[in-house]
Structure 1
Amino acid sequence: MRRSTGSVPRIRRGRVLKKVPEDRISALPDSVLSNILTFLPLEDAVATSSLSQRWRHAWTSVRNLCFDDGGPMGAAADNPDLVDEFNNFIESVMAGTDPVSIHTFSLRSVNAIRRDRFPLWVSQAIMRNVREMEIDIIQYAPMQLPGCVYSSMTLEVLRLHTAFRFADPPDGVCFPQLKILQIYITHPENRVIEKLFCSCPSLTELSLTVLIQPDDPPANFIIQSTTLNTLTFVVLFASLRGMSYHHRAVIMAPNLQLIRIVDNMLMEYEVHEMQSIQQATLDLQHWESDTVDPQRARNLIEGVATTACLILSGGVLLALKRACERQSLSRFDNLTSLDVEVRRSGWKGLHTILTATYNLRTCILTKGDWFDVNDHALGWLETENVPHCLSERVTKIKMKAFTDGKDDVRLVEYFLWHSKVLDKFRYHCHGSVQGARLQTLCRKILNFRIQSPTVNIRVTRETLN
């Protein structure tokens, strides 16, 4: 009869069997196990409860509650049980976790969730001193954001990827500790947008996306903050037909360093106190036949005239061409880097902005998809009014998506002849220029008259997508 004890290895046929390795992970303290589970998807963290008695309650101390149904859009339409399963999972986790403070509450669902329970889930996260909250859910009608979110003393990051209805901001402080705010607004109401972005005393980063319908009344956005460092403002118009042109945005942020504005209609802007701006990206839509006053684009770009880096869409150049026909643009004394898209008749706008810059070092030009240039548009190449920055300051020029066309090559010749201190010139051809055409273009460019004795010229071909 064989007998063995728990710690004595058994002997069989002259060999000693090794002991079963000790489960060192399970022996770790609860705080360490909780930290390990933080790196797992929430569903997997909860599933560890079935491993052993030791792991049964380990998941309940997880501080990152990230719910994601992970399904394709509309998957629950064929199987409503999926919705119930996901909602019940949220309920059980919110009821089963026990940390006094949680770091993250994230909810993403491509299918419907229980609208009657959503405010409770958010409120529970706020009561547990959540620091970061992110919501990306399907809503057939915007829901009201629970009031406790506005007054949370721990919430530092709030990202709302879908539209919510906002309560009237209080006269005093709103979001007292919030540093990063990303929201999406439809049918903007002035009672909200005139006060909400002026009441956050700790805000450093704001990302605001707005969808405006043709029948919406004139909107008046006011963004005023002494702490704001980064601003992204995206304005989308659902339809250009019957659209009101009387929407307006006022931006006052003396410590703002980065600003990005995307606007496919060109609303009216008032920009003040931008002495700290380092980079401005203006992606505005404007067309030759537009009835919108191009002076709006001019007012906006002059509002960020102290920036060191300026990135402009082709629509901005076209608007500048129209707005500066009688009066030149204000000077950009701090501008050292210019990145512009040129399309349609924006060439004159390019000359306008180059003439206004005196300390430019880097110029990047990208040829836009809609491109139509003629002798009249490029007439400034033949004048003696060479921008001061080209002859005295610019050391790097990059041209992207250009071809071997006559007007494109004329621009290269102009830059190489008038840029006296140029160190680097890069010409990235459109992918359609290849083989013998590319070789011919290279020879032609290398034979141009060049003012700078130190310039390094390189012609390459972009890869077609």
Structure 2
Amino acid sequence: MNIYFINLCLQLLINICLHVRIMELDHGAHKAARLALQDVISSMPDKVITNILDRLPLQDAVRTDVLSKNWRFKWTMLSQLVFDDNFFEYLSKTEGKENHLRIISRFLLHLKGAITKFVLYIEKMRKFDDDDINHWILFLSKNGIEDLTFKLLDKTPFKLSTHLFSCLQLKHLKIYNCIFNPPPGFHGFPNLLSLELYPNAEKSSDVGEFAIKCHLLEILKLRYILKAGRVKLVEIAKLKNLKILALSLYDLDNKMITSSDTIFELLDSLPKLQELYLNFQVCKVRLRCVVEVYFS
């Protein structure tokens, strides 16, 4: 059976259960109906329950505690956490004050199993500082994190804690607006498949040297790097498993990018490459243009 159909059925089931339960609470439905509902949802395996919860918005996943007594703390089985502006706006309406730091910390402390995915995506001003974020990274590094996203668009670049580099189970890493400096002697993420990195170019270290240590990389997206000489195309050429590559290029007079031939030489060295995205934000003639190249 198609996996997308299964996921759709799971989400539909939990929404129906929530609706039925709320209706029962409002209208005092017959006790037998309540028991039947409890039997259905209580008999689900833990993996199925976690699968359902992980596919709901975080605030809805917590609200499943109204389904039955057995579901009162099922939300603590969550393995994927997405804290975005929709979630924070929901908090502001229900809590009536800015206490986002306390809420996130409480979530992390109550979860029982591994946290495989964590997303902190903020477009509007929130009260977080580097210590808050790095404290969460320390917690996640001890709890099996595989997919990590920090996208803080309204904040000055934050300095990543070295705890990030102990998350050796990472498969997907997206970090925007940061100061990226791997510790000396770091040997790369052995399981990393995708990397999207948009660091502060002036304060970050050699990203190219870091990337080539992640030998399994299939997706690499870098921005604001070549301008500061943090990545050389010869380094990217060593990533033989790359399938998708996205680069923002700045100075065409730079020796790293002397002509279109240099780009095609890079393509020759990447046998598995399927998609290439080149963004020329500042061209030689001072014109803004965007070039996208696709390869089958």
The 8 Å contact of residues 249 and 268 in structure 1, kept in 2 or not, is answered as: no
1:123 equivalent among 138, 154, 173 = 138
- Could you tell me which residue of structure 2 aligns to residue 134 of structure 1? 149
SS in 2 for 1:182: strand
1:190, 1:45 → 2: CA distance? 38
Instruction: Give, in angstroms, the shift of residue 140 of structure 1.
Output: 3.0
Identity %: 23
Could you list the per-position Cα deviations for residues 209-268 of structure 1 after superposition, in whole angstroms to 9, with x for gaps in the alignment? 1178xxx8x5252223233232110236xxxxxxx7654547xxxxxxxxxxxxxxx999
State the partner residue of 2:206.
Answer: 192
Counterparts in 2 of 1:105 and 1:25: CA distance versus 1, 3 Å: same
2:179 counterpart residue number = 165
CA shift, 1:71, in A, is 7.3
Stretches of structure 2 that go unaligned for 5 or more consecutive residues are: 1-29
Q: Matches of 1:187 and 1:195 in 2, distance apart?
A: 14
Q: Deviations over 1:286-340 (max 9, x none)?
A: 88x9389xxxxxxxxxxxxxxxxx949xxxxxxxxxxxxxxxxxxxxxx9x9xxx
Q: Tell me the secondary structure at the aligned position of residue 177 of structure 1.
A: coil
Other-structure match for 1:259: none
Q: Per-residue displacement from partner, 1:388-443 (whole Å, max 9, x unpaired)?
A: xxxxxxxxxxxxxxxxxxxxxxxxxxxxxxxxxxxxxxxxxxxxxxxxxxxxxxxx
Deviation at 1:171, TM superposition (A): 4.4
Q: Structure 2: how far apart are the matches of 1:156 and 1:191?
A: 22
Q: Does 1 or 2 have the higher relative contact order (CA < 8 Å, sep 6+)?
A: 2
Q: Kindly tell me: are residues 98 and 135 of structure 1, through their superposed partners in 2, closer, same or farther at Cα, counting changes over 3 Å?
A: same
One-letter identity of the residue aligned with 2:138: S
One-letter amino acid of the structure 2 residue matched with residue 83 of structure 1: E
Q: Is the 8 A contact 2:245 2:277 kept in 1?
A: no
**Aligned counterpart for 1:274 among listed residues 263, 268, 288:** 268
Amino acid paired to 1:93:
F
Q: Provide the rounded CA distance (Å) in 1 between the counterparts of 2:42 and 2:174.
A: 36
1:58 aligns with 74
Provide the residue aligned with 1:231 in structure 2.
Answer: 245
TM-score (norm 1): 0.46
State whether residues 158 and 179 of structure 2, in contact with CA within 8 Å, keep that contact through their aligned partners in structure 1.
yes
Provide the C-alpha distance between the structure 1 equivalents of 2:32 and 2:249, rounded to a whole number of angstroms.
Answer: 67
Please identify the structure whose Cα radius of gyration is greater.
1
Report Cα offsets for 1:323-365 as digits up to 9, x if no partner. Answer: xxxxxxxxxxxx9x9xxxxxxxxxxxxxxxxxxxxxxxxxxxx
Indicate if the aligned counterparts of 2:206 and 2:230 stay in contact, CA closer than 8 A.
no
C-alpha separation in 1, matches of 2:244 and 2:52: 33
Deviations 1:166-188 (A, max 9, x none): 11454451122111000112334
For residues 274 and 32 of structure 2, the distance between their equivalents in structure 1, rounded to whole angstroms, comes to 65
Give the conservation status (yes or no) of the 8 Å contact 1:220–1:249: no
Aligned to 1:207: 221
Where in structure 1 are there 5+ consecutive unaligned residues? 1-16, 237-243, 251-265, 293-309, 313-334, 338-465
Contact 1:60 1:97 in 2 (8 A): yes
Whole-angstrom distance in 1 between the partners of 2:45 and 2:274: 48
Correspondence for 1:102 among 112, 115, 120: 115
Deviations 1:155-200 (A, max 9, x none): 100112x211111454451122111000112334574234222221
* Cα distance in 2 for residues equivalent to 1:153 and 1:204: 17
Q: Are the structure 2 counterparts of residues 41 and 95 from structure 1 closer, same or farther at C-alpha, using a change threshold of 3 Å?
A: same
Paired AA for residue 148 in structure 1: H
The two structures, once aligned, show a CA RMSD in angstroms of 3.9
* 1:71-130 Cα deviation digits (max 9, x unpaired): 799xx8xxx96432x32221111111110x222111122232421211111221221111
Whole-angstrom CA distance in 2 between matches of 1:19 and 1:190 = 63
Q: Say if 1:69 and 1:108, in contact at 8 Å, map to a contact too.
A: yes
Q: Which amino acid aligns with 1:231?
A: L
| Count of equivalent residues | 248
- Given residue 218 of structure 2, which amino acid in structure 1 is its aligned partner? T
Contact preservation (8 Å) 2:84, 2:120: yes
* Distance (whole Å) between structure 2 residues aligned to residue 57 and residue 190 of structure 1: 42
Is 1:87 matched with 2:101?
Answer: yes
Determine if the alignment matches structure 1 residue 221 to structure 2 residue 231: yes
The whole-number CA distance in structure 2 between the counterparts of 1:104 and 1:291 is 41
Which of 2, 26, 32 is matched with 2:48 structurally? 32
TM alignment of 1:270-309, pairs within 5 A: 271-272=265-266, 274-275=268-269, 276=271, 277=273, 280=276, 282=278, 284=280, 290=285
Q: Secondary structure at the match of 1:87?
A: helix
8 Å contact from structure 1 (residues 206, 231) kept in 2: yes
Change (3 A) 1:190 1:132: closer
Whole-angstrom distance in 2 between the partners of 1:202 and 1:81: 46
| 1: CA distance, partners of 2:47 / 2:69 | 17
Q: Does 1:20 align with 2:36?
A: no
Answer yes or no: is the 8 Å Cα contact 1:247–1:267 preserved in 2: no
